[in-house]
Amino acid sequence: MLGANPYASNGSLATAPDWPGRLEALRARGGRLVVVDPRRSRTAEEADEWVAVRPGSDPFLLAAMVHVVFDEDLVDLGDVRNFTVGLDEVRDLVAPFTPEAVEAVVGVDAGTIARLARDLAAAPTAAVYGRIGTTTAEFGTLASWLVDVLNACTGNLDRPGGAMFTRAAVGAANTRGAPRSGRPVRIGRRHSRVRGLPDTFGELPVVCMAEEMDTPGEGQVRAFVCLAGNPVLSTPNSGRLDAALAGLDFMVAVDIYLNETTRHADVIFPAPSALQKAHYDIALLQLGLRNVANWSEPVLPLEPGEVDEWEVLARLALIASGAGAGADPAVIDDMMADGLVRSAVGDEHGPVHGRDPDELLALLAPRRGPARLVDLMLRVGPYGDGFGAVPDGLTLDRLVEAPHGVDLGPLEPRLPEGLRTPSGMVELAPAPLAADVARLRAALDRPVGDGFLLVGRRDLRSNNSWMHNVSVLVKGRPRCTMHLHPDDAARLGLADGAEALVTSRTGELVVPVEVTDRIRAGVVSIPHGWGHGQPGTAMAVAAGHAGVNANLLADELCYDELSGNAVLNGIPVEVAPRVTRSTDGEHHQTRPR
């Protein structure tokens, strides 16, 4: 497990209840857990081994592990060998990354790296899992790819006990259309105006958001719609974004709080409480560790005058399209349902191919909004009733009758049927990834600096930026502190509880220090999502536990060139004791409180 701390986060892109319990069960049945993290996180503490890498170095570590697997003839693709291409290319791509070549940049000795690779290859089953700490980095996409490559080369792709694919009940691209065919991934169909950064899957990088607002010229962003996001706390160089938002002509937000971002909005549409909404988790159930389907009905009714969030969004879409504020949100809702039904009847591999769209729409009545769309997607999905074609198949009615969810069984091997690649094969070395390895190779020659690198961390009691206005969650010891290794603390003269001044190219902040050996020397950790109490916000509890905004330090010029993703971990910073100027003009270091 690299760059993930499920004891705090309960997992990410690997959805299951009780991750800690699962890890404990894994160890109880004789399994071994190795955690790769610059911090000895709670998960690392529960693990058999903690590998304290330098931030940002995961792709080097992973490439070296793949290298060892090839070099020692340990490659075994298992059952996927008959439909995998690119193995020889991978061997060539990782050739320069010997354990000896990467040990300085990874900060872990070559012997340990080679042993990890051998252990992994020798295990009867194993899974490599990398998350936020590995992806929000300069070579984040390569790190994710190398995780997959390592799983494949050790025979763990698509086998029970290894890394498997969910068969989701709703919305899965890998159960739609023809098996073993798909479109290639295209990056860079559009480019951002100011820096010319390419889009990925239609999205432009968040690292160019502020400059698109504050750089004059044709195409400058002057209006902004923010839906359930708090980018002033969650995105790099948020000081610049904060100022850019203040300078916009117009901003709309849909949010439950008047916070650091929504304070810039001209109009805020409040969303009803989570308890007043129906819920089906389309996104995270694509990555379930078991096939399940869950629908929650609203627990509480809407108050008079309250509007469902989807209606707010539909109305905004209508206004933006010129239809005006009085237009009926049903127009958008019907358009969505109609579009989905038509694509379902057009799918020659689907269960309703060739049927009359109006007949299916009639069968979905009287539901509307998300409930209708979920019912439709369930019924044409891999477990669906196919609108009568499959007796006992899933419908939303069946989920409503099963408030604890429907268990669709453990994950089962899905290859090659689940492949949606252009070649119909597992493509181990797709061109954009293979090309990016040159950038990683070049970085191997960079001198390994000795300055501080800043990483984040998550806390069980916090959720990104927005759980800090709830007293029971923020009471007790402060959560927004900077972890600092005792050796670094001694060298800098910073005691536990003292205030440190942390600076980067983009900003500076003062934060209380927590001296702890649960972090690698040379690395400091500050959680993101804090920095409350700004003028114009209305979150009284959060303001009393304000903390600092770590993303003032994250640099919008640092991003993964392949994906455009922001670098949020491994940010170069300077750390010093906070110096205050006293009335006699002399400088004094702050003392521990």
Ligand X SMILES: Nc1nc2c(c(=O)[nH]1)N[C@H]1C(S)=C(S)[C@@H](COP(=O)(O)OP(=O)(O)OC[C@H]3O[C@@H](n4cnc5c(=O)[nH]c(N)nc54)[C@H](O)[C@@H]3O)O[C@H]1N2
Q: Site for ligand X (CB under 6 A): which residue of 91, 372, 457, 479?
A: 457
Size of the site for ligand X (CB under 6 A): 55
Q: Site for ligand X (CB under 6 A): which residue of 23, 53, 102, 484?
A: 53
CB contact at 8 A, 413 and 400: no
Q: In this structure, what token pair is assigned to residue 331?
A: 């127009």
Burial of 147 (0-12, 13-18, 19+ CB in 10 A): buried
| Half-sphere CA count of 389, side-chain side, radius 13 A | 15
Q: Site for ligand X (CB under 6 A): which residue of 245, 364, 550, 558?
A: 550
Dihedral pair phi/psi, residue 286, rounded to 5°: -65, -20
Q: Site for ligand X (CB under 6 A): which residue of 210, 570, 575, 577?
A: 570
Q: Site for ligand X (CB under 6 A): which residue of 39, 167, 315, 479?
A: 39
Q: Site for ligand X (CB under 6 A): which residue of 98, 112, 296, 464?
A: 464
When CB distances to ligand X are compared, the closest residue is 133
- What's the Cα-to-Cα distance from 107 to each of 45, 112, 238, 388, rounded to whole Å? 19, 11, 30, 59
The binding track of 292-321 with respect to ligand X, each residue x by CB under 6 A or -, is -----------------x------------
Q: Measured between alpha carbons, how far is 326 from 319 in angstroms, rounded to an integer?
A: 9
CB of 547 to ligand X, least distance (A): 13
132 binds ligand X (CB under 6 A): yes
229 binds ligand X (CB under 6 A): yes
DSSP letter at 306 equals -
252 binds ligand X (CB under 6 A): no
Among 229-237, 323-331, 413-421, 484-492, the segment contacting ligand X (CB under 6 A): 229-237
Name which of 10 and 423 has its Cβ closer to ligand X: 10
Name which of 36 and 101 has its Cβ closer to ligand X: 36
Q: Site for ligand X (CB under 6 A): which residue of 107, 456, 512, 531?
A: 456
416 binds ligand X (CB under 6 A): no
Q: Site for ligand X (CB under 6 A): which residue of 23, 271, 292, 337?
A: 271
254 binds ligand X (CB under 6 A): yes
CB of 137 to ligand X, least distance (A): 6
Other CB atoms within 10 Å distance of the CB of residue 39 = 24
CB of 143 to ligand X, least distance (A): 8
463 binds ligand X (CB under 6 A): yes
84 binds ligand X (CB under 6 A): no
- What's the Cα-to-Cα distance from 165 to each of 13, 21, 289, 298, 314, rounded to whole Å? 12, 21, 9, 30, 33
Q: In this structure, what token pair is assigned to residue 507?
A: 């900003």
Q: Site for ligand X (CB under 6 A): which residue of 59, 86, 99, 133?
A: 133
Please report how the helices 99-106 and 110-122 are oriented relative to each other, as an axis angle in degrees rounded to 10: 110
> Of 38, 114, 42, which Cα lies nearest the Cα of 71?
114
Q: What sign for the dihedral angle of Cα 107, 138, 566, 141?
A: negative
166 binds ligand X (CB under 6 A): no
Helix (H, G, I), strand (E, B) or coil at 503: strand
Name which of 137 and 394 has its Cβ closer to ligand X: 137
Q: Where in 384-413 is the site for ligand X (CB under 6 A)? A: none
38 binds ligand X (CB under 6 A): yes
Q: Site for ligand X (CB under 6 A): which residue of 3, 86, 329, 531?
A: 3
Q: Site for ligand X (CB under 6 A): which residue of 460, 473, 501, 541?
A: 460
Q: Measured between alpha carbons, how far is 394 from 383 in angstroms, rounded to an integer?
A: 6
Q: Measured between alpha carbons, how far is 262 from 333 in angstroms, rounded to an integer?
A: 27
In residues, how long is the chain? Answer: 593
Cis before residue 366, ω within 30 degrees of 0?
yes
337 binds ligand X (CB under 6 A): no
59 binds ligand X (CB under 6 A): no
Among 173-181, 223-231, 397-405, 409-417, the segment contacting ligand X (CB under 6 A): 223-231
55 binds ligand X (CB under 6 A): yes
Name which of 406 and 467 has its Cβ closer to ligand X: 467
Name which of 538 and 579 has its Cβ closer to ligand X: 538
Q: Measured between alpha carbons, how far is 570 from 56 in angstroms, rounded to an integer?
A: 6
CB of 387 to ligand X, least distance (A): 31
Q: What b/e readout covers 270-291, taking b as 16+ CB neighbours within 10 angstroms?
A: bbbeeebbbebbbeebbebbeb
Among 185-193, 329-337, 453-461, 540-548, the segment contacting ligand X (CB under 6 A): 453-461
Residue 53 CB partners (closer than 8 Å, separation 6+): 36, 37, 38, 61, 106, 107, 108, 520
Degrees, nearest 5: CA angle 515-521-527 = 60
Type of residue numbered 426: V
205 binds ligand X (CB under 6 A): no
CB of 473 to ligand X, least distance (A): 10
Cis before residue 272, ω within 30 degrees of 0?
no
554 binds ligand X (CB under 6 A): yes
Q: Site for ligand X (CB under 6 A): which residue of 137, 210, 252, 265?
A: 137
Q: Which residues sit opposite 423 in a β-bridge? A: none
CB contact at 8 A, 229 and 464: no
Q: Site for ligand X (CB under 6 A): which residue of 99, 350, 529, 531?
A: 529
Helix (H, G, I), strand (E, B) or coil at 54: coil
CB of 149 to ligand X, least distance (A): 17
Please report how the helices 369-380 and 357-364 are oriented relative to each other, as an axis angle in degrees rounded to 10: 120
CB of 448 to ligand X, least distance (A): 14
Residue 490 CB partners (closer than 8 Å, separation 6+): none
Q: Measured between alpha carbons, how far is 12 from 1 in angstroms, rounded to an integer?
A: 12
Q: Site for ligand X (CB under 6 A): which residue of 569, 573, 575, 590?
A: 569
Among 8-16, 73-81, 241-249, 390-398, the segment contacting ligand X (CB under 6 A): 8-16
228 binds ligand X (CB under 6 A): yes
Residue numbers at the binding site for ligand X (CB under 6 A): 2-6, 8-10, 12, 36-39, 41, 53, 55-56, 58, 131-134, 137, 227-231, 234, 254-257, 259, 271, 274, 309, 455-458, 460, 462-466, 528-529, 550-551, 554, 568-570
